[in-house]
Amino acid sequence: MTEPCDVLVIGAGPAGLAAARAAASHGVNVVLVDLQANPGGQIWRHDVRKSAPAAARLAVAEMRARSNLHWLPQAQVVATAPGRVLIEEAGLVREIEYGALVLATGARELLLPFPGWTLPGVSGAGALQALTKQGWPIAGKRVLLAGSGPLLLASAATLRRHGAQVLAICEQAPDAALMAFASQLWRWPGKLLQAAALRTRLAGVAYRRASWVRAAHGDERVREVEIESARGIERIACDQVAVGYGLVPNTELAAQLGCALELDGRHPRVRVDERLMTSVDGVYAAGEACGIGGVDVARVEGAMAGHAAAGADDAARALRPRRRHARAFADLLPRYFDLRDDVRKLAEPTTLVCRCEDVALAQLQGYSDARAAKLATRCGMGSCQGRICGTALTELGLLVPATRAHAARPPVFPTRLASLAAAGSYLDRSCSERTFLTESKGSV
């Protein structure tokens, strides 16, 4: 079944919600799809026990109030072709045809391998925050947070609010960098307020600078974590360890559509022009997918892309100064939260890097090319399709990410064969059957 719409928005985080609303304000027919059951993306993720921030409630209410805006929850875009996408929803597939497309696919956490990182109870920092909001039993648990960047503080505040005992936050950046970062904040009063509020909510929690997690220990779950700093190595007993090294844009859908990517540091982001159009005509991108920028960037870029996708270029153009100001803040982050080499050297030869296929670091030595390594070791061929290990290997300097168009083959997520069979004709148009069969291994 093919359904048409004027503007299709993929991702219902702050960027996608703003895009859908802006496009719908011009009267066109808009469809907004997201893998999650509730709108809000990562920062406004639905919390089953606590109320959402006012901005999030407003954005969602505005979405629901528009009769020309159709919201599709728990719908995952699994494949793309020019002018149409394939969506899997409750095991069924449907095809949506669009006039213009806005990619607001957000970002994921950068997770780096270290001894013990596969133990249950070790997760990303934002990951534990997300799980907790969705009912994960965290009350009374001893949690250690580590990694880098402001997300550690936001996660810690959420965990504490839900009753966790936050043992410490270990930030790998040195003191001087953190002081320099703080001294810039006055230019973004909103951020300064946010930082002050977080500090209050985290009163009494140790914030250790220049320290990082070396290893996690346990049997069938984590029991203890090893921290390294100038003071030496310390072992701390805990129930959960949450380690995130910042964020990396989600670019798989863009790559599959043939949108040009560009490197932002070590990782790719979607390349857009001043109008937020990608290199593919009629396909726009906004928010973290175009480079990590935070919620203010996501909202203004989403609005710009939504206006532009609906053909309202003037409305989009009027937002350019706001976008520049918001992006300037984003540019500070990589400067001050630059990763030290120590955290890139934590994995030992026996540490598993590819968690889906259980491939250790030592098995990956000696391959200069990702494809050769993949064929020989199966690294990156499991269910996550390289999203975790590929990003980690890129950060470790062992893999150069592809930025050429069409580098990502469909489906972008493992998809059930029955769903794909139902998509029938779509397959013939978008890719060969062989691609589907090999890439969807593990979940058929």
Partner 1 sequence: MKRSNVQLSIDGIAVEVPAGANVAAAVAQLGLRFRRSRSGEARAPLCGMGLCFECRVSIDGVAHQRACVVVARDGMQVQRDD
Ligand X SMILES: Cc1cc2nc3c(=O)[nH]c(=O)nc-3n(C[C@H](O)[C@H](O)[C@H](O)COP(=O)(O)OP(=O)(O)OC[C@H]3O[C@@H](n4cnc5c(N)ncnc54)[C@H](O)[C@@H]3O)c2cc1C
Q: Going residue by residue from 71 to 90, which x/- string records binding to ligand X, judged by CB under 6 A? A: -----xx-------------
Q: Minimal distance in Å, beta carbon 234 to ligand X?
A: 27
Nearest to 76 by CA among 132, 34, 29, 110: 34
> Distance between CA 168 and CA 118 in Å, rounded?
21
Q: Which does 288 bind (CB under 5 to 8 A by kind): ligand X, partner 1, none?
A: ligand X
Q: Choose between 214 and 271: whose C-beta lies nearer to ligand X.
A: 271
Amino acid type, 47: D
Q: Choose between 75 and 304: whose C-beta lies nearer to partner 1.
A: 75
Q: How remote is the C-alpha of 236 from its chain's centroid?
A: 29
- State yes or no: residue 10 binds ligand X (CB under 6 A): yes
Task: Assess contact for 143 and 164: CB atoms under 8 A.
Answer: yes
Q: Choose between 22 and 215: whose C-beta lies nearer to ligand X.
A: 22
Burial of 273 (0-12, 13-18, 19+ CB in 10 A): exposed
Which residues form the interface with partner 1 (CB under 8 A)? 35-38, 42, 46, 48-49, 74, 76, 91, 108-109, 111, 118-124, 126-131, 134-137, 220-221, 355-358, 382-384, 387-388, 414, 442-443
- Please state, as a whole number, how many other Cβ atoms lie within 10 Å of the Cβ of residue 178: 16
Task: Assess contact for 81 and 428: CB atoms under 8 A.
Answer: no
Q: Maximum CA pair distance of the chain?
A: 63
Q: Choose between 121 and 306: whose C-beta lies nearer to partner 1.
A: 121
Per-position b or e across 26-46, b if 16+ CB within 10 A of its CB: bebbbbbbbbbebbbbbbbbb
Structure tokens at 134: 């969705």
Per-position b or e across 225-239, b if 16+ CB within 10 A of its CB: bbbbeeeeeeeeebb
338 SS3 class: coil
Q: Choose between 268 and 287: whose C-beta lies nearer to ligand X.
A: 287
- Please state, as a whole number, how many other Cβ atoms lie within 10 Å of the Cβ of residue 311: 15
Q: Minimal distance in Å, beta carbon 41 to ligand X?
A: 2
**Binder of ligand X out of 22, 23, 104, 361 (CB under 6 A):** 104
**Binder of ligand X out of 6, 106, 205, 353 (CB under 6 A):** 106
Q: Minimal distance in Å, beta carbon 75 to partner 1?
A: 11
Q: Which does 154 bind (CB under 5 to 8 A by kind): ligand X, partner 1, none?
A: ligand X
Q: Minimal distance in Å, beta carbon 273 to ligand X?
A: 18
Structure tokens at 439: 């890439």
> Distance between CA 9 and CA 32 in Å, rounded?
5
Q: How far is CA 422 from CA 1, 82, 92, in A?
A: 10, 20, 8
Q: Which does 120 bind (CB under 5 to 8 A by kind): ligand X, partner 1, none?
A: partner 1
- State yes or no: residue 277 binds ligand X (CB under 6 A): no
Q: Which does 159 bind (CB under 5 to 8 A by kind): partner 1, ligand X, none?
A: none
Segment interacting with ligand X, rule: CB under 6 A, options 28-36, 323-331, 387-395, 436-444: 28-36
Tell which positions 124-163 bind ligand X, by CB under 6 A: 126-127, 129-130, 151, 154
Tell which positions 282-301 bind ligand X, by CB under 6 A: 287-288, 294-295, 298
> Distance between CA 159 and CA 143 in Å, rounded?
9
Q: Choose between 200 and 368: whose C-beta lies nearer to ligand X.
A: 200
Amino acid type, 59: A
Amino acid type, 56: A
Residues within the interface to ligand X (CB under 6 A): 10-16, 33-36, 41-43, 76-77, 104-109, 126-127, 129-130, 151, 154, 247, 250, 253, 287-288, 294-295, 298, 412
